Homo-oligomer: A and B are copies of this chain.
C-alpha cells in the first residue's frame, strides 16, 4: 500500500521485553523441557512463530503443528511425542500464554493526556484523581467518574451516570443518564449503554412509548465490545454481571440480567426481562427470547435460538435450541430430508402393493 518504511512494531504499540524460557516458566509456575536459557521476545501462533517466539498448544487440533513449528518454545500441558521444540509445561497452557503475553507485551498503553480543555464537564459532575479525559468528551450534570479512568474522544456521559475506578471508555461510546458502571470496566467504541428499552403499549393501532425508568448497571471487570446496545429497564434494571465479557454488536434488552463471568460472543441478542446465570457462554449471533430464565454454566452454540427456560449446565444448539448432543445429529440430518421423504413414499408403495396383492387361494 506504499507506506513509508517504518518500524512496524512501534506503530503496533508493542513494547517488547526479552525473557528467558526459564524466567517465563518460573513466572507462570511451570517447568521447562529443553534449554531454559533460550531468549523469548514475543508470542505467536504455531504456524507463524519464528526465532524468539513462544507459541502454545491449547487445542489438540493443532498438535501436529508442534512438530513443525519454528517457535523457539511451546507452552503445552505435556510434552508432545515427536516434537523437538523446547517446552514450557504448564497446567493450564492457555492461561500461561495469557500471563506471558501480558508480561512480554502488556495491555494497550494509554497516553496521559490529563483533562483536555476541549471537553465539557458539568460543574456539578465529579471526576476522580489521575483521570485522562480526551477532547470532545461531555460529562453531564451530577455524573461521577472515579479515579484512574481513561475517557477517549467524543464519549458522552449522561446526567447522573456513575463510573467507578480504572475504567477505559473508548471513543464515541455513549452512556445515557443514570447508568452505573463499576470498576475496571472497559467499554469499546461506538457502544451505547442505557438507551430506552423497546417498550410500547399498542392501543388502537398506535404504539405509545412507555417511560423506561430502570437503568443499566455494569458490574466490576466487565468488558463490552464495539457497537453494542444495552437497553435500560422499564421498571427494574438491566444488569451485566461482574467479570462478564461481551463481544461486538451485542444487543441486550430492557431489564435483562446477565450473571457473573459470562461470555457473550459478537452479535448475540437477548430480549428483555431474561435472566442468565453465571459462567454462561453464548455463541455468536445467538438469539434468546424475553422473560425466560437460563441457569448457570449454560453453553449455547452460535446462531442458536433459545425460547424456553434452561436448567444449569445445559449445552444447547440449533434454532429452536435443543440439547447439543441430540441437536448435533438432528440438525445435520436436515440434508437427508429429501431422501427420507422419498424413502417413506417408496416404502408406503411397497406396503400398499403387499396389501393389494391378491391372496393365494
Which residues of B have CB within 8 Å of A4? 144
For this complex, into which size category does the number of interface residues on chain A fall? Answer: 35 or more
B106, A211: Cβ atoms closer than 8 Å: yes
- Residues A189 and B195 in contact in the complex (CB < 8 Å), given A141-B111, A302-B289, A303-B319: yes
A274 to B279, CA, bound (A): 26
Q: Do A249 and B247 touch across chains, with their CB atoms under 8 A apart?
A: no
Which residues of the partner chain B approach A129 to less than 8 Å between Cβ atoms? none
- Provide the residues of chain B in CB contact with A82, threshold 8 Å: none
The answer to whether the Cβ of A23 comes within 8 Å of any Cβ in the partner chain is: no
Whether A192 contacts B226 in the complex (CB less than 8 A), given A287-B303, A331-B320, comes out as yes
Give the shortest distance, in Å, between A7 (CB) and chain B (any CB).
10
B156 touches A154 (CB 8 A): yes
Are the CB atoms of B225 and A195 closer together than 8 Å? yes
Say yes or no: A174 contacts B190, CB within 8 Å: yes
Does A253 lie at the interface of the complex (its beta carbon under 8 Å from any beta carbon of B)?
A: yes
CA distance in complex: A230, B171 (Å) = 15
C-alpha spacing A12/B233, complex, angstroms: 11
Say which residue of B102, B152, B207, B341 sits within 8 Å of A263 (CB atoms).
Answer: B207
- Contact status A198-B249, CB under 8 Å: no
The reply to whether A206 and B341 form a contact with Cβ atoms under 8 Å apart is no
Residue pair B337, A205 in contact (C-beta under 8 Å) = no
A284 to B61, CA, bound (A): 30
Cβ B153 vs Cβ A138 within 8 A: yes
In the complex with contacts A347-B348, A351-B354, A269-B285 CB distance below 8 A: yes
In the bound assembly, the distance between CA atoms of A324 and B135 in angstroms comes to 51
Q: Closest residue to A141 on the B side, CB-wise?
A: B111
Among A225-280, those with CB < 8 Å from B are 225-229, 231, 235-236, 243, 245, 247-249, 251, 253, 261, 263, 265-267, 269, 271, 279
| Inter-chain contacts of A180 with B (CB < 8 A) | 1, 3
How far apart sit A191 and B360, CA to CA, in the bound complex (Å)? Answer: 79
Residue pair A201, B152 in contact (C-beta under 8 Å):
no
**A99 → chain B, closest Cβ, in Å?**
8
Q: A118-B120, A180-B3 are in contact. Are A172 and B172 (CB under 8 A)?
A: yes
Check if A219 is an interface residue, CB within 8 A of chain B. yes
Partner of A200, one of B14, B111, B141, B245: B245
Contact of A266 with B267 in the complex, beta carbons under 8 Å: no
Q: Report 8 cross-chain contacts, Cβ distance below 8 Å, ordered by A residue.
A: A95-B201, A98-B203, A120-B136, A120-B153, A188-B229, A249-B251, A347-B351, A354-B354
Q: Nearest 5 A-B pairs (CB), nearest first?
A: A229-B248, A98-B201, A192-B226, A156-B171, A11-B160
A residues with CB within 8 A of B: 1-4, 10-14, 43-45, 48, 61, 92, 94-95, 97-99, 101-102, 105-108, 111, 118, 120, 134-136, 138, 140-142, 144, 152-154, 156, 159-160, 162, 164, 170-172, 174, 176-178, 180, 182-183, 186, 188-192, 195-196, 198, 200-203, 205-211, 213-215, 219-220, 223, 225-229, 231, 235-236, 243, 245, 247-249, 251, 253, 261, 263, 265-267, 269, 271, 279, 284-285, 287, 289, 291, 302-303, 305, 318-320, 322, 326-327, 329-338, 340-341, 343-344, 346-348, 350-351, 354-355, 359-360
